[in-house]
Structure 1
Amino acid sequence: MTVIVWIVEGTWPACVDAARTHTPANADLVLLHVTGHEVPGAAHGAYAGLLGRARPDRDPGTAMEHLAAASAEQLLASAAKRLGRPCARQERSGSVEREVVAAAEGADLLILARDGDRTHLGPRSLGPAGRFIVDHAPCPVLLVWPETAPSTTTIPPHHRQPPQSPGHHPGR
């Protein structure tokens, strides 16, 4: 059994704990971190646009890429330590949600945490990346709350539409 555990700053402990709790001891666990290209790409572009390309050694985008890689390594190391069992570590870069979906190809399970509004139950508890991953994952998904789930009292009230009479045509 191969299990991919998506490691993201702020929510990774819940994903690691879910992997420990919900996967067999002999599962092949892969801790996955994806670094998006947005911030380093913007820094590269701003530097090139404002200052030209005369001094590529001073490009702040390159420094940001190095910082992101070091941060990802530290995050994966912390996650592996918390997991406390053998695992592989994988670092990818690119479109975050697409890289997570691609990494899950052939996996038996993908574990991820909610990345949206975590103060209420409901669809907004998934941000754009999480929603994309849940909708496109090529394997079963275990979706966890990074902290205690909100109460069921946070579910919006159910608003039923009154039944329409057979000859009723709204808007006429």
Structure 2
Amino acid sequence: MLNRVVLVGRLTKDPDLRYTPNGVAVANFTIAVNRPFSNQQGEREADFINCVIWRRPAENLANYMKKGSMIGVDGRIQTRNFEGQDGKRVFMTEVVADNVQFLETKGSNQGGQSSSAGYTSNQNPGANQGQSNQGPSQQSSKASDNPFENSGEQVDLSDDDLPF
């Protein structure tokens, strides 16, 4: 059986970071993901997907990303239910994120004119052994690593140009 979700979208509000009574960090957030087609009026619609992430990645998300930031989420769908304040049973479906990748540096979301930080916040730190997991300010930069770095030219991409 397989339960895997991969999403790329923008945060609809700042992540809500909280701590359990045992001191474990948990962040709830919602991302807006554009649908790959237009409606009858020619407008693009979006889905608003509730997500949750735990521990250190939750703290990283809350510290580095804010409303409007573009992120990538890798996780699984989980359902739960509880009794609401009105006594009725409430059913919730959300994405439990195993990995969140920051697709923009902090404060750079200017309508798609952003640079990719490539910073990954993993739920499972052992999964990326041997890979660099440094933040934007810690990454080493070499001229040969990024052929577009410091070229001075702006790249204009729309959602239609992206393969996902």
**Interval of TM-score (by shorter of Structure 1 and Structure 2):** under 0.3
Length-normalised TM-score, structure 2: 0.23
| Higher Cα Rg, which structure | 1
Identify the structure with bigger relative contact order (alpha carbons < 8 Å, sequence gap 6+): 1
Question: Which protein is richer in helix relative to its size?
Answer: 1
